[in-house]
Amino acid sequence: MHNLFPILAVETSGDNCSVALLFDDHNFVEMNYQQKHIHSQKLIEMIDTVLKNALIELNQCKAIAVSMGPGSFTGLRIGLSTVKGLAFGANIPIIPVPTFDAFAFHISKYIKTGTKFVIAMNANGDEYYFSKYIKHDDNVEVVDNLKLVEKNNLQSLISTDELVYGDSFIESTLKEVLGLTAVKIGRWAYLLGYDLLTSNYDYLEPNYFKKFIVKGKR
């Protein structure tokens, strides 16, 4: 496995503004601030605080992992633009992390092999970001690709034996709500994201709900 530690991670796809510095899989410094529309005010301050608490300079980081969406338009834009500026100034590569895949990877650690599960997150009140996965012994497979689903159609896409995660309104199948944090973004990045590592990040755009494309060489 490639050594990407220490790695700075940023998650701004939802209400939680989250920053983490990971030294390895078990040792990290993390800061979370749960409040709507706070990312522009708090993100830089939180990054500075996490780096100071970790006793690390930014240029000592091997990479910066950033949540790419889907999620809040404003949060994703602020997160990525901030990370781009930091990465450029410190000459550090970026790992763009698909938010739902990182969430699914985290969830898979708590469920049995063979279990199908859904991630459903509210997009705008009447629509949900929706994706379905299955847990295998050593990985997570996408069963139903990420898409926008109308609230009225959501129930019909979920079987009774499938677990549902996120902020779905379906009370009967909602088993657990797990918050997505920067640590989870960082863990996905160092375990599964090396091939996305790039120093040519001018073309990176958040996944507002269209597949982002990483162009250029690492």
- Where do the structural domains in the chain lie, given as residue ranges? 7-99+180-196, 111-166
Domain 111-166 in the same topology as domain 7-99+180-196:
yes
Is the domain spanning 111-166 CATH 3.30.420.200? The answer is: yes
Overall pTM > 0.85: yes
What pLDDT, in 10s, does the model give residues 156-207? 999 989 988 887 655 544 444 457 899 999 999 999 999 999 999 999 999 9
Domain 7-99+180-196 falls in which CATH fold?
Nucleotidyltransferase; domain 5 (3.30.420)
Per-residue confidence (pLDDT) for residue 37, from 0 to 100: 84
Mean pLDDT of the chain: 89
Structure token pair of residue 80: 């990525």
Enumerate the H helices of 68-112 as residue ranges. 73-90, 99-108
The Cα 37–Cα 157 span in angstroms is 31
Per-residue confidence (pLDDT) for residue 169, from 0 to 100: 58
Instruction: Give mean pLDDT, residues 138-158.
Output: 93
53 with 23: CB under 8 angstroms?
Answer: no
Give the 3-state secondary structure of residue 29: strand
174 with 13: CB under 8 angstroms?
Answer: no
Rg (CA), the chain: 17
pLDDT surpasses 70 at 218: no
Per-residue confidence (pLDDT) for residue 181, from 0 to 100: 94
Per-residue confidence (pLDDT) for residue 168, from 0 to 100: 60
Of 12-16, 34-38, 75-79, the least confident: 34-38
Strands (E), 27-125: 28-34, 63-67, 94-97, 116-122
